[in-house]
Amino acid sequence: MSGSKSCARLQGVLLQQLLDSVDSILFDCDGVIWRGDQVIPGAPQVINLLKQHGKRVFFLTNNSTKTRRMYADKMSTLGFDVTEQEVFGTAYGCAVFLQTACGLQGQKVFLMGSQAMRQELETVGIQQTGVGPDHVSGGPGDWANVPLDPEVKAVVVGFDQDFSYMKLNRALQYLIQKDCLFVGTNRDTRLPLEGGRAVPGTGCLLQAVETAAQRQAQTVGKPSPFMFDCLASQFGVERERCLMVGDRLDTDILLGSNCGLKTLLTLTGVSTLEDVAGHEESGCAERRRMVPDFYVESIADLLPALQG
């Protein structure tokens, strides 16, 4: 579609029309339905009412610290009516990618990531080495000569609180081998917490490894279409009748644009209307793809069309 893309506030008639035009709605999690452990007020009601109105609801998150099961449990605790199969996090997405696209079922990887990632890998029959703390000992000569597991076929990077120089070094030593694959969960620069605090995201760790190894990783998370493609093929989702709801222009909205979905920005997270205006006025085609179709202050703004 040519011409300028204006991001409209979603309310009233426009809201009703949009809801009537979609069958499936994908929600990002951090900054959209919750912040850390605090639910966005009204979010559970929105999700539950959408389902009652016959819409299919899915969750698409770049956060690799939980398994699908852990997400479903967290959501239930917070009042969302959700099943495990409806959640697509990058721990799960990465395991599926390594299994299907990389053919590593029955093989082993070096994992710089969470226990959740380890569990999702085990579920698809992929073993790992490396998860957990890794403290430095010895000197530089020892580090360059760390024993490498000959069965390791890939270096996999996700959010890792135990990130250290030693882990970075191990990843580098594996990646020097040209036939070692290199996969990351996502490039988000920060992981948002409650109250607006944030910690460095997986993107930082991935950048460290990529710089040391002078190699680029393939990434699984938004804006890569991989997890959407998994979801779409598992559930038969029609792109033209699908809405992506997110708080980040460079992941959620860009994913939506790239996959031909309608896009809705909520302002309870990372991106602002100033960011939108910046992209809109940029004149750069790539940036224009980060301009959402609609925005709301919070997803609670959908309630008027769902209640009564």
The minimum distance between CB 193 and another protein, in angstroms, equals: 6
> Of residues 213-232, which lie at the interface with another protein (CB under 8 A)?
213-214
Query: How far, in whole angstroms, is CA 182 from its chain's centroid?
Result: 18
By CB under 8 A, is residue 199 in contact with another protein? yes
By CB under 8 A, is residue 273 in contact with another protein? no
The span of 56-64, 94-102, 116-124, 212-220 binding another protein (CB under 8 A) equals: 212-220
By CB under 8 A, is residue 148 in contact with another protein? no
By CB under 8 A, is residue 101 in contact with another protein? no
The span of 53-61, 81-89, 100-108, 199-207 binding another protein (CB under 8 A) equals: 199-207
Distance between CA 183 and CA 25 in Å, rounded? 28
CA torsion 30-36-37-43 (nearest 10°) is: -30
Nearer to another protein by C-beta: 4 or 135?
Answer: 135
By CB under 8 A, is residue 136 in contact with another protein? yes
Please answer whether residues 188 and 157 qualify as being in contact, where contact means their C-beta atoms are separated by less than 8 angstroms.
no
By CB under 8 A, is residue 162 in contact with another protein? yes
The minimum distance between CB 44 and another protein, in angstroms, equals: 24
The minimum distance between CB 108 and another protein, in angstroms, equals: 22
Calculate the alpha carbon distances from 180 to 108, 117, 150, 183, 282 in Å.
11, 19, 10, 10, 39
> Of residues 1-30, which lie at the interface with another protein (CB under 8 A)?
none
By CB under 8 A, is residue 189 in contact with another protein? yes
Return the SS3 of 296: strand
DSSP labels, 243-290: EEEES-IIIIIHHHHHHT-EEEEETTSS--HHHHHHHHTS--HHHHTT
The minimum distance between CB 135 and another protein, in angstroms, equals: 9
Euclidean distance between the first and the last CA atom of the chain, given in angstroms as a whole number = 35
Please answer whether residues 101 and 89 qualify as being in contact, where contact means their C-beta atoms are separated by less than 8 angstroms.
no
By CB under 8 A, is residue 166 in contact with another protein? yes
- Catalytic status, residue 73: no
Tokens of 29: 């999690």
Distance between CA 281 and CA 56 in Å, rounded? 34
Phi first, then psi, for residue 267 (nearest 5°) are -95, 20
Nearer to another protein by C-beta: 57 or 208?
Answer: 208
Nearer to another protein by C-beta: 102 or 198?
Answer: 198
Given 20, 30, 293, 301, which residue is catalytic?
30
Which one of residues 163, 182, 226, 228 is an interface residue with another protein (CB under 8 A)?
Answer: 163
- Catalytic status, residue 250: no
* Nearest alpha carbon to residue 39 among 300, 232, 229, 306: 300
Binding site for another protein (CB under 8 A): 136, 140-141, 143-145, 160-166, 168-169, 172-173, 176, 189-190, 193, 197, 199-201, 203-205, 207-214
